[in-house]
Amino acid sequence: QSALTQPASVSGSPGQSITISCTGTSSDVGGYNYVTWYQQLPGKAPKLLIYEVSNRPSGVTNRFSGSKSGNTASLTISGLQAEDEADYYCNSYTSSHSWVFGGGTKLTVL
């Protein structure tokens, strides 16, 4: 199972919006609404941000939103803040009854 494709890095200024893409295939992202996004702050464990494409767990700010079109899922962060600087990973359930992560995207807040 190949890793999902994410941009290695994105950047934005405080207050701006950015979008991180996550491209897979019809056997994973495109085939299921089980796309999840995780935020990993430096030196910390990943934290659940978005599940089932667009749902936020309680406690996650509505500045984070998710969507999907075909084989590509997206995470949008609006109103960028310095504390959003982290690595972001997408994840999808697959037709092999397994899970696959994206390669990760490093977000820099300028």
Partner 1 sequence: QVQLVQSGSELRKPGASVKVSCKASGYIFTTYSMNWVRQAPGQGLEWMGWIDTNTGNPTYGQGFTGRFVFSLDTSVSTAYLQISSLKAEDTAVYYCAMSSGYLFDQWGQGTLVIVSS
Assess contact for 34 and 22: CB atoms under 8 A: no
- In whole angstroms, the minimum distance from the beta carbon of 104 to partner 1 comes to 4
* Among 10-18, 59-67, 68-76, 100-108, the segment contacting partner 1 (CB under 8 A): 100-108
The label of the residue with tokens 């994973």 reads 28
Residue 94 phi/psi, 5-degree rounding, is -125, 170
| Residue range at the interface with partner 1 (CB under 8 A); choices 10-18, 21-29, 36-44, 73-81 | 36-44
Token readout for 108 is 């820099």
Amino acid at residue number 73? A
Q: Binder to partner 1 among 7, 19, 21, 34 (CB under 8 A)?
A: 34
Among 19, 21, 31, 32, the residue binding partner 1 under the rule CB under 8 A is 32
CA separation, residue 13 to residues 58, 94, 108 (Å): 26, 35, 9
Q: Angle at Cα 62 formed by Cα 61 and Cα 66, nearest 5°?
A: 115
Specify the stretch interacting with partner 1 by CB under 8 A; choose among 13-21, 37-45, 67-75, 77-85.
Answer: 37-45
Binding residues for partner 1 (CB under 8 A)? 1, 3, 32, 34, 36, 38, 40, 45-48, 51-52, 57, 89, 91, 93, 97-104
